[in-house]
Structure 1
Amino acid sequence: MVAHLLSLKWNLLVNGFKRSTWQLVGSIIGGLYALFWVVLLGFGSFELADESVELRGSIAVLVFSVVLLGWTFIPVLITGVDLTMDPARFNTFVLSRRDLSMGLLLSGFVGIPAALTLLAFLSQTLMWRPELGTMTAALLGALLGALMSQVLSRLVATAALAVTANRRFQDISAILLFIPLMLIGPAMASLADGFERAMEWLPTVAAVLGWTPFGIFAAIPWDVAQGHLWIALLRLLVAVLYVGLGYAVWSRLLMRSLENPSESKASGSIEGLGIFGKVPATPWGAVSARALIYWLKDPRYAGSLVVVPLMLVLAWIMYNQTENLHVVLWVAPVVMALMGFSISADVSYDSTAFSLHVLSGITGRDDRWGRVVACAAVSAPLYLILSLGVPFILGDLALIPALLGINACALMAGLGVSSIASARYTYAVPLPGESPFKSHPGSGVRMMVTQLVIMVSMAILTAPAVALLISYLVTNNSLWVWLLLPLGVGLGVLYVWLGVKIGGRWLDKGWPELMQATVRNR
């Protein structure tokens, strides 16, 4: 039965690639990219073989710990565990607990993430190549570590099932997780500056992690290389105990969750018309009200708003590294451009609900105006805060009209281009109710190309306003500031008007085709 479940997972994986050429191409590109880093890790491990035993052991333990911590928490907060082999789908089959749990556990390796994790752990054994016995111990630790990655992810996901079934938890956790993900780059840059200081406490941290379920598997060859064979044997027994205990607890929780499934609860109710009663009783007003509900309650849209404070944090970090205060100046137009860009996937986010627009008979122009007005309403407070706040931070109030102009141009250029692009070009995005940071296999290439074209177009349209701002910073002539205000606002209004007109015309000619595209992207 375990072999049958593995065969089932393999067939599901292969058939998924056959469904879409984009999915196959995207998976190949993503797999090759990840494989590149695995090969790079292997070369690094090979070169580390000439370093001291303490350094090799410390690095191996830290790498194992980071990877296993990732397997423990990231699947719970983002996508869950292996949706193609959902345990609930086996409720009607007579399967023993051992067959089901073992089959589901091993089926995790029939997929790109777990397979690459196994290869990454195996590549770590190359740092112990000078000693055959140590390399054998490292190989055993790598296999146990890969197995533990699946045990931990499934254990935590199943234990948290009652909590993660709550929609509010999914929304908040996914957005909060985005914060450290965006700050990884600056954090790594800061850590690189203090690398020499970090080397002083690295062995101490590794020694502690070497007894935890995250780093113990890499510490086994470390003990063997130091000649501590009894400690290595004890550590091996503890590692096997960790895997066995984790598997036993997960298996029991799995059967309990199947016998008593959790139900997702509604997040609340609304009386009356709600936001629909506060907008004009027009077709574009109804569309704007529906879009505003997305902005207020859909985590896929809320993720765009998280970018705002994070961009300020990133700007401050860059300022500390470059000591150039004008780095903060460019944050405002970038944030405004991203806000305008955010509606480029509006139709894709609608999914099958887009049929409301198709069947109601509204014009493409009303559809475009409704989405633009909703995004503009959400962006207006940010526009004022950034346009007035950044000059106070820089101590140059003469920049206020300049930022009012360039921010308006950036925002409305994004709205105009997005109104055109989303009227014809769609791509696979997280479905309603899914994590805002989940990506569907094969969607990466199409999404990347579409978004790149949109951003390049926005940059070109905003270039005149950017040129005037640079002219002011170079010459310090206030004439450029006062020219930028009417030019930025005027160009922005023109961009929105053209975007709505062209995008609305495209919609009127292609409602059925666009509806078909949204269904195909599911």
Structure 2
Amino acid sequence: MVAHLIRLKLTLLRNGLRRSPWQLVGVIIGALYGLWILALALVGLVALRAVPVPIAETVLVLAGSLLVLGWALTPIVLSGIDLTLDPARFALYPIPLRQLLLGQAAAGLIGVPGVCTALALAGTTVTWARGGLVVAAAVLGALLALALCVVTSRLVASIVAELASSRRFRDVTRILFIVPIMFLGPGISLLARGIGEGGTTAVSQAAAVLGWTPLGAAFSAPAAVAEGRVGEAAAKLLITAAALVLAAWGWSWALARALENPGSRGSGRSPAPRRGLGAFGWMPATPAGAVAARALTYWIRDPRYTTGLIVVPLLPVVLFVASRAGRHSSGSVLEGPFPLAGAISAFVLAWSISADVSYDSTAFSMHLAAGVRGWADRLGRAAALLLFALPAVALITALPFALAGDWALFPALLGLALGVLLSGVGLSSVVSARYTVAVPLPGESPFKKPAGNSAQTLLVQFGGVVALGILAAPEIVLTVLAAATGAAGFAWATLGVGVLLGGALLAAGVLLGGRLMDARGPELYSSLVRVR
């Protein structure tokens, strides 16, 4: 039965590749990328063979802990994507639970991640080729770690299986996955800086703690044997084995429940009815107000928009960490990229509506059928964004100066941020009325690679960024002069230019975008239907 499930997994994978040539291309690219990462890992593992035992232990424990944690978190982010061996599909067949567990565990290793993980863990035996007993501990630790990765992944997948039927759950987990991605680069920089400044003690202490947890115990045991602490190595291997048994028991319970109640998934309580009109109840009863209310609803409920709301609050944190990790770490918080957090956040928010008509997809037909004037559509979408973007950008811009207690350059940076925001919203109002780009369809993951003219999408995005840089050039020049001379006049001039020029460009963008929408509304809708 185990072999049959493996063949079934391979057959499903082969048929999927035959059905979609682009999926085959994606698998090939993923395989090449995985092989490249695997090659780097194997070279590193061979190099660790020549370093002292404590250093090799620290590196392997930290890397191994990240590996196990990655396998555990991946099903949350990718929930509902791979259902080829969904347990509920086997409910009608008299397959013993033990065989189904073993078959699904073996099938979990089929694929680029599973193969690369198995080969990388096998490579750890090269690092610990320092004696027969050490190699034995390394082999046992690698096997336990591989089994723990697979079983933990299946356990987490089983736990989130019922929740995965909820689109809201999938959207939230995928959006929250942005958080560790955004902090990955700054975290690596801080780690490298800490090691470079003699912070290896803290890193070693973190590895020592992880070495006694299920995440890193299997990777620490060979080092204990190499240093003559056989009892400690046995205890760490027992910790890994106990965690594996506990995870296998939990997975067995979840799998049995899925087989006994295959229809429970997605048959829970219906969502509570929404009361009130939301933004439609307090927005002006005008066409522009109705468009603004609908746009605000999108910002709250559509994950394609909500992603921007998650990214913007994290930007100042990432820039602050980047400043601390760079050469400005010993100076003021106003040195480095941190003071530009407001301007960067303004750009992200302003440019996020450059594809709002494309995001509407075929729902844009409602605007045409209702006869909404183009300027009202453009004004409503811009007003919905500015309603929360203006205070958010102002607060983010003020944060570095509040921490430093020095407000001399605050007017300049605030003028730059407001200029970028207002000018960017005006530019986006024109771009979205003139061009449609390939975006994920309503209800799809915001991270899905959309089908369509990717070349046009790249050209529109690149051209828009260049155009916004030209429109905000006066504010940029005045900000540079204010920072270089320290003159208050340049700082306040930047604020005035940002508000006045940005406001004028916003009004011009709303009017021009409205005229374009009135002139080519049917063409816009036709292009949206073709993209779909």
Query: For this structure pair, what is the TM-score category when the shorter chain's length is used for normalisation?
Result: 0.7 to 0.9
Distance 2:28 2:433 in 1: 27
Who is 1:470 aligned against? 480
Distance 1:283 1:18 in 2: 49
State yes or no: 1:307 paired with 2:311. Answer: yes
Name the aligned partner's letter for residue 504 of structure 2. G
Q: Using the TM superposition, name which of 356-365 and 336-345 deviates more.
A: 356-365
State yes or no: 1:249 paired with 2:246. Answer: no
Q: Is residue 343–residue 415 contact of structure 1 (8 Å, CA) maintained in 2?
A: no
Correspondence for 1:432 among 443, 448, 452: 443
Who is 1:124 aligned against? 124
Q: Is residue 279–residue 293 contact of structure 2 (8 Å, CA) maintained in 1?
A: yes
The Cα shift of 1:470 comes to 1.5
Who is 2:347 aligned against? 337
Query: In structure 2, do the counterparts of structure 1 residues 19 and 458 end up closer, same or farther at CA, with 3 Å as the change threshold?
Result: farther
Distance 2:27 2:360 in 1: 25
Who is 1:296 aligned against? 300
Distance 2:411 2:238 in 1: 67
Query: In structure 2, do the counterparts of structure 1 residues 502 and 48 end up closer, same or farther at CA, with 3 Å as the change threshold?
Result: farther
Query: In structure 2, do the counterparts of structure 1 residues 226 and 441 end up closer, same or farther at CA, with 3 Å as the change threshold?
Result: farther
Aligned residues: 516
Q: Using the TM superposition, name which of 163-172 and 452-461 deviates more.
A: 163-172
Who is 2:385 aligned against? 375
State yes or no: 1:271 paired with 2:281. Answer: no
Q: Is residue 129–residue 135 contact of structure 2 (8 Å, CA) maintained in 1?
A: yes
In the superposition, the TM-score normalised over structure 1's length comes to 0.81
Query: In structure 2, do the counterparts of structure 1 residues 124 and 287 end up closer, same or farther at CA, with 3 Å as the change threshold?
Result: farther
Deviations 1:265-313, CA, capped at 9 Å, x for gaps: 5554333433234345555544332221121233443332233332222
State yes or no: 1:199 paired with 2:200. Answer: yes
Deviations 1:343-390, CA, capped at 9 Å, x for gaps: 245456556756655776767766555433322323232244456777
Name the aligned partner's letter for residue 222 of structure 1. A
Name the aligned partner's letter for residue 466 of structure 1. I
Q: Is residue 289–residue 374 contact of structure 1 (8 Å, CA) maintained in 2?
A: yes
Q: Is residue 64–residue 216 contact of structure 2 (8 Å, CA) maintained in 1?
A: yes
Name the aligned partner's letter for residue 250 of structure 1. W
Q: Is residue 421–residue 454 contact of structure 1 (8 Å, CA) maintained in 2?
A: no
Correspondence for 1:420 among 409, 413, 431: 431
Deviations 1:190-242, CA, capped at 9 Å, x for gaps: 33332265533555554554453322332343345345667656755664554
Higher relative contact order (CA 8 A, sep 6+): 1
The Cα shift of 1:509 comes to 1.0
CA root-mean-square deviation: 4.1
Q: Using the TM superposition, name which of 484-493 and 61-70 deviates more.
A: 484-493
Partner SS, residue 336 of structure 1? helix
Query: In structure 2, do the counterparts of structure 1 residues 91 and 514 end up closer, same or farther at CA, with 3 Å as the change threshold?
Result: farther
- Percent identity between matched residues is 34
Deviations 1:459-498, CA, capped at 9 Å, x for gaps: 3443343123223323437254344543333334334444
The Cα shift of 1:334 comes to 1.1
Q: Is residue 295–residue 384 contact of structure 2 (8 Å, CA) maintained in 1?
A: yes
Who is 1:57 aligned against? 57
Equivalent residues in 2 for 1:280-291, closer than 5 Å: 280-281=284-285, 284-291=288-295
Distance 2:105 2:361 in 1: 33
Higher helix share: 1
In the superposition, the TM-score normalised over structure 2's length comes to 0.79
Distance 2:126 2:272 in 1: 55
Name the aligned partner's letter for residue 403 of structure 1. L
Unaligned 5+ runs, structure 2: none
Name the aligned partner's letter for residue 39 of structure 1. A
Distance 2:453 2:142 in 1: 31
